[in-house]
Chain A
């Protein structure tokens, strides 16, 4: 019994320490955005890696998500004779929820895991120590470009996701299932308001910050993560942790933001 309490207490203390460490990490990373010299080229390179290179994945995910929404929505709405509302259902689902959430999950899987592994390997091979010894801030040099690139890329990718998703819904609903194109378009125009778009944009910014924070943070602290092990195994476990935690955080914050803003 005492051993169980000791273990619980130990785990709780570890969690508090970990949260504190991650909080300070976020603070240092945000502060480093304002330190000079600013790494403009590296930030652009990261936007290419995190944003532009994710476009193909986002394209396929979004078009098929839109098509599935169109298909499911059509058969559900038909039961109530409301096929004309298909455009509204597809657009609102995508803009409010699926666009920001699925884009964030895709970026986590594609770019977040890569960021975590890259920084974890740099930590394990003493490259981050070397930067600190050369009085080059690892935050300004490594972390900030990734932060900025993700915060810029993810909202843009989300908007692409929404547009391509709606096109997918149109393809399934109008082209394949014969819904009236005017009704589809009119449904979108009538139901989507600025608040929906703002909600999606706020979500995508918050998700971007969560994803880049958790993924770079797990990599940065790979050497002190509990049960992570050392070397390649440590990096692999930290990467898994980063992806799982980011995904959970995205879904929790999705609920919280929706509850607050709706």
Chain B
């Protein structure tokens, strides 16, 4: 088992009267791909924002490399965030900037690279994501799939250790979804990052997973593989698995019963 890179200990988070995470303890292993699945409004995106320190929990601690992100000073929080790359649900591209400027932004702001060197690196990255010829377009002129590719290129520009994907394929057609998954495989192989993927795209997204975390009514349950989900002793989880994954993952249970 790989060491945990991110750990939640008894984390509680609520918004007003709505309890989103209820005493959650879970760990995300280094070098692995963890998929966080669950219904809408269950707190999947909130989990990512807690990891990044964009939201604070009401109780509990969130450790990144053994350090509690809540108690970090701004400087240390920034150092920790440097390890992360994030692909947001809506890509979160700066809409007043072109594709080139968006992808170049981390290099311009966080490194000492100048003019020609930045241009060369950005062009190289855009080529890897099949975005050549679109450098001068603005986000509003791009399709959903292209925005995701630009967002991914920008997130990977500084080669992060951990990539967080917030609904990377929501709103995309099946073919573009597969393209995004291919890019994910290719980029993870190239950059070797740990990844946490929040997704609705069940069961397809499980093909990427080394570990699955199911989020249901504020509780998180970890499974070492998607096929273990229907074997859960929790009736709600079995019901969730049957509803979302259908019969393809029931074979192991049948085998187990025999």
Q: Residues on A close to B: CB < 8 A?
A: 121-122, 125-127, 129-136, 141
* Most chain B CB atoms below 10 A, which of A122, A133, A135, A136: A133
Q: Can you spell out 14 A-B residue pairs with CB atoms less than 8 angstroms apart? A: A125-B90, A125-B95, A127-B92, A127-B94, A130-B93, A131-B94, A132-B52, A133-B54, A133-B86, A134-B81, A134-B109, A135-B78, A136-B105, A136-B109
Chain B: minimal CB distance from A155 (Å): 27
Question: Cα distance A100–B105 when bound, in Å?
Answer: 38
> In the complex, how many residue pairs between chain A and chain B have their CB atoms under 8 Å apart?
49
B54 near A129 (CB under 8 angstroms)? Answer: yes
Question: Cα distance A19–B94 when bound, in Å?
Answer: 29
Residue numbers in A under 8 Å from B93 (CB-CB): 127, 130
A126 near B106 (CB under 8 angstroms)? Answer: no
Question: Cα distance A122–B92 when bound, in Å?
Answer: 8
Residue numbers in B under 8 Å from A127 (CB-CB): 92-95
A130 near B110 (CB under 8 angstroms)? Answer: no
A134 near B95 (CB under 8 angstroms)? Answer: no
Decide if B82 is an interface residue (CB 8 Å cutoff). Answer: yes
Question: Cα distance A135–B74 when bound, in Å?
Answer: 10
Query: Top 5 closest A-B pairs, CB basis?
Result: A130-B92, A126-B92, A133-B86, A135-B78, A126-B88
Point out the residue from B78, B89, B109, B154 that lies within 8 Å of A126, measured CB to CB.
Answer: B89
Residue numbers in B under 8 Å from A130 (CB-CB): 86, 88, 92-94
Question: Cα distance A133–B77 when bound, in Å?
Answer: 10
A126 near B90 (CB under 8 angstroms)? Answer: yes
Question: Cα distance A130–B49 when bound, in Å?
Answer: 11
* Closest residue on chain B to residue A121 by CB atoms: B95
Point out the residue from A125, A133, A141 that lies within 8 Å of B81, measured CB to CB.
Answer: A133
* Closest residue on chain A to residue B151 by CB atoms: A130
Residue numbers in A under 8 Å from B85 (CB-CB): 133
* Closest residue on chain A to residue B54 by CB atoms: A129
Decide if B84 is an interface residue (CB 8 Å cutoff). Answer: yes
Residue numbers in A under 8 Å from B94 (CB-CB): 122, 127, 130-131
* Closest residue on chain A to residue B106 by CB atoms: A134
The A interface, classified by DSSP as helix, strand, loop or mixed, is helix
Question: Cα distance A28–B49 when bound, in Å?
Answer: 22
Residue numbers in A under 8 Å from B82 (CB-CB): 135
Contacts A129-B54, A130-B86 known; A135 to B110 CB distance under 8 Å? yes
Chain B: minimal CB distance from A217 (Å): 18
Question: Cα distance A134–B89 when bound, in Å?
Answer: 16
Give residues 50-108 of B contacting A (CB, 8 Å). Answer: 52, 54, 78, 81-82, 84-86, 88-90, 92-95, 105-106
Chain B: minimal CB distance from A77 (Å): 52
* Closest residue on chain B to residue A137 by CB atoms: B78
Given A133-B54, A133-B84, A136-B105, 16 other A-B residues pairs in contact with their CB atoms under 8 A? A121-B95, A125-B90, A126-B89, A126-B90, A129-B54, A130-B88, A130-B93, A132-B54, A132-B81, A133-B52, A133-B86, A134-B81, A134-B110, A135-B78, A135-B82, A136-B109
Residue numbers in B under 8 Å from A136 (CB-CB): 105-106, 109-110
Chain B: minimal CB distance from A83 (Å): 53
Residue numbers in B under 8 Å from A129 (CB-CB): 49, 52, 54, 88, 92
Residue numbers in B under 8 Å from A134 (CB-CB): 81, 105-106, 109-110, 154
Residue numbers in A under 8 Å from B54 (CB-CB): 129, 132-133
Question: Cα distance A122–B96 when bound, in Å?
Answer: 10
Residue numbers in B under 8 Å from A133 (CB-CB): 52, 54, 81, 84-86
Residue numbers in A under 8 Å from B105 (CB-CB): 134, 136
Question: Cα distance A261–B89 when bound, in Å?
Answer: 53
Residue numbers in A under 8 Å from B90 (CB-CB): 125-126
Question: Cα distance A129–B52 when bound, in Å?
Answer: 10
Chain A: minimal CB distance from B56 (Å): 13
Residue numbers in A under 8 Å from B52 (CB-CB): 129, 132-133
Chain B: minimal CB distance from A235 (Å): 14
Question: Cα distance A135–B88 when bound, in Å?
Answer: 15
Question: Cα distance A135–B75 when bound, in Å?
Answer: 10
Residue numbers in A under 8 Å from B78 (CB-CB): 135
